[in-house]
Chains A and B, each alone.
Chain A
Amino acid sequence: DQQVKQNSPSLSVQEGRISILNCDYTNSMFDYFLWYKKYPAEGPTFLISISSIKDKNEDGRFTVFLNKSAKHLSLHIVPSQPGDSAVYFCAASGDTDKLIFGTGTRLQVFP
C-alpha cells in the first residue's frame, strides 16, 4: 500500500519557468511533510518542509503548498535553474516519526 504517491515520474521545464511537482498521500495521520532532492550516487538532501498546521511554506525559490482536505501537496520552484535537475522525493511522517517516501519525480530543467 503506497501511502505517499508521486504520479508523475518525470517533468521537463525550461530554465526560468516554474516547476510544479505534485504529491498525494492517503494516511490522515501524517502531520509533517518534506521534500528531498537526490542526485545520482548521492543520498537525498533535505529541501523544504511543512507542518500540517500550515498551508504554505516558502524558502527562496522553493515553496511548498499543503491542501489537507485533498491530501495533496506540491513543490513550486521558480525560477527553475539547470542545477535543479534531479530526482525529487516527497516524504511524510506521523506519530511514528519515520519518513514514508514517494517514488520520486525526475525533474529536468533545460536551457
Chain B
Amino acid sequence: DTGVSQDPRHKITKRGQNVTFRCDPISEHNRLYWYRQTLGQGPEFLTYFQNEAQLEKSRLLSDRFSAERPKGSFSTLEIQRTEQGDSAMYLCASSLRGAGEEKLFFGSGTQLSVL
C-alpha cells in the first residue's frame, strides 16, 4: 500500500501565475477529495470525486480553481491567476465508497506560497 501521493510537496509562485497540483490516490479507492488548510485552521473541504464524476464543489472553490479526475484515478487541482490568499496547504484524500463508514486517507499535502 503506497498511500496517497501528492506532487509537488512545495510550490512557490508569483501572484498571477497558474499552478497545478497532482494527487494519486490509493489504487482501489473510488473517492477522491481535495481540502485546503491554512495556519490555525482545520482542513476545509473544496471538492470531491466519485470515480471521474465531480459530485460536489464548495463555495470556497472560486472560478479560478478547477479540479479534474479524467480516468477516475489521479486528480489535478489547478489554480489560475494565483492570489496571496491562495497560500495554504492543499490536501488530497481518498476513500473507498461502500466499505462501510467513510474514512479518508490523506496525502502529505502541497504547501503553496504565493509571493
Residue ranges of A at the interface with B (Cβ–Cβ < 8 Å): 4, 6, 9, 32, 34, 36, 41-46, 49, 51, 89, 91, 93, 96-104
Contact = CB atoms under 8 A, between A and B. Distances in A.
A55 B52 CA distance: 36
Interface of B: 4, 6, 31, 33, 35, 40-45, 48, 56, 91, 93, 97, 101-109, 111
Contacts, number: 60
A43 B109 contact: yes
A101 B44 contact: yes
14 contacts: A32-B101, A41-B108, A42-B109, A43-B4, A43-B91, A43-B93, A44-B91, A46-B105, A93-B102, A98-B45, A98-B48, A101-B42, A101-B44, A103-B42
B106 A44 contact: yes
Contacts of B6: 43
Contacts of A46: 103-105
Contacts of B45: 98-100
A54 B81 CA distance: 47
